[in-house]
């Protein structure tokens, strides 16, 4: 009989998590390590990355820290090269860094547009390219790129951010097609409203926070820890036949049409 619990076992695997210093990245790094992975926690802030790695080690897991700036190609390639030099391979990649400048498109300056594109889309590209090359050589691996429910649903002031997240979903699909024959899977994770440093401008405003909560089917915000399950699923053999997919962990946000509860007609409300 098969031991189905081993589907989620990440023992002996090397997981690189970029953006591990806070939010979803930190929770995911801790979660991957809890399932047995040796985690490389990387972040723009080495101090924050080390705090995550230390928390993992304190809990009995395997972790180390590293600094990286995904806006810089050399920084990304040095990080990936260092991980491969120390461990011989990279089995899992999760990359999360992003910025959201909430501003209507007609008011965007060129420099502001470049800032969002540079970090969100081009930064993801740099990381996926560098790690993808290594996984192609080893003919195995799982790449998880960070999209968002904003890839589908857009509100005023989030057009540029949404465009980057939609682009990341398409990037994952294209890379999955290219790397699939080499045994490498590529997927995107699209969270809904998660209480992270990126969303603090909303969560710090009680009225705004509650309005967002009521927009999704579950009526609440997610904690970063609630993204660990989807990440572990995409990283592990539990998703061995899943590639080129975007997994929406959005509490039904993208399924809801409209911002009010419609009144059902008398006929429609009668039981059959």
**Separation of alpha carbons 52 and 11, rounded Å:** 19
Helix axes 123-138, 159-179, angle to 10 degrees: 10
With H, G, I as helix, E, B as strand and everything else as coil, classify residue 163.
Answer: helix
pLDDT at 266: 47
61: left (phi over 0), alpha (psi -120 to 50) or beta: beta
Point out the catalytic residue in the list 108, 161, 212, 241. 161
User: Residue 75: which residues within 8 A CB-CB, separation 6 or more?
Assistant: 67, 68, 69
Q: Would you say residue 57 has pLDDT above 90? A: yes
pLDDT, tens only, 179-220: 999 999 999 999 999 998 888 888 999 999 999 999 999 999
Mean pLDDT of 243-249: 98
pLDDT at 198: 80
pLDDT at 268: 45
User: Residue 234: which residues within 8 A CB-CB, separation 6 or more?
Assistant: 142, 144, 185, 187, 189, 242, 247
pLDDT at 269: 44
Q: Kindly report the CATH number that applies to the domain delimited by 7-247.
A: 3.40.50.720
pLDDT, tens only, 72-108: 999 999 999 999 999 999 999 999 999 999 999 999 9
Mean pLDDT of 243-265: 81
The answer to whether residue 108 is catalytic is no
**Separation of alpha carbons 6 and 126, rounded Å:** 32
pLDDT, tens only, 142-159: 999 999 999 999 989 999
Q: What percent of the chain has pLDDT over 70?
A: 94
In this prediction the pTM is: 0.93
Q: What is the mean pLDDT of the chain?
A: 94
In the chain, domain spans: 7-247
End-to-end, the C-alpha distance of the chain in Å comes to 45
Q: Would you say residue 161 has pLDDT above 70? A: yes
Query: Minimum mean pLDDT among 40-54, 74-88, 137-151, 253-267: which range?
Result: 253-267
Q: Would you say residue 267 has pLDDT above 60? A: no
């Amino acid at each position: 009989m098969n031991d189905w619990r081993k589907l989620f076992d990440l023992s002996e695997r090397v997981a690189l998590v970029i953006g591990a210093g806070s939010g979803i990245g930190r929770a995911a790094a801790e979660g991957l390590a809890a399932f047995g992975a040796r985690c490389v926690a990387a972040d723009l802030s080495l101090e924050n990355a080390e705090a995550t790695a230390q928390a993992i080690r304190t809990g009995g897991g395997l972790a180390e820290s590293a600094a990286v700036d995904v806006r810089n190609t050399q920084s990304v390639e040095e990080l990936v090269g260092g991980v491969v030099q120390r461990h011989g391979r990279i089995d899992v990649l999760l990359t999360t860094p992003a910025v959201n400048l909430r501003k209507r498109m007609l008011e965007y300056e060129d420099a502001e547009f470049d800032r969002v594109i540079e970090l969100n889309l081009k930064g993801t590209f740099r990381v996926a390219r560098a790690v993808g090359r290594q996984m192609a050589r080893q003919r195995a691996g799982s790449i998880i790129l960070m999209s968002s429910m904003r890839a589908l649903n857009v509100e005023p002031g989030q057009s540029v951010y949404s465009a980057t997240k939609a682009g990341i979903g398409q990037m994952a699909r294209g890379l999955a097609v290219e790397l699939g024959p080499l045994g490498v899977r590529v997927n995107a994770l699209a969270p809904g409203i998660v209480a992270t440093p990126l969303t603090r401008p909303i969560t710090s405003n009680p009225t705004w926070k509650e309005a967002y909560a009521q927009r999704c089917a579950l009526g609440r915000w997610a904690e970063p820890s609630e993204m660990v399950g989807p990440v572990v699923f995409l990283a592990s053999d539990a998703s061995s036949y899943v590639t080129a997919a975007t997994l929406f962990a959005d509490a039904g946000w993208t399924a809801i049409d409209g911002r009010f509860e419609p009144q059902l007609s008398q006929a429609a409300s009668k039981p059959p």
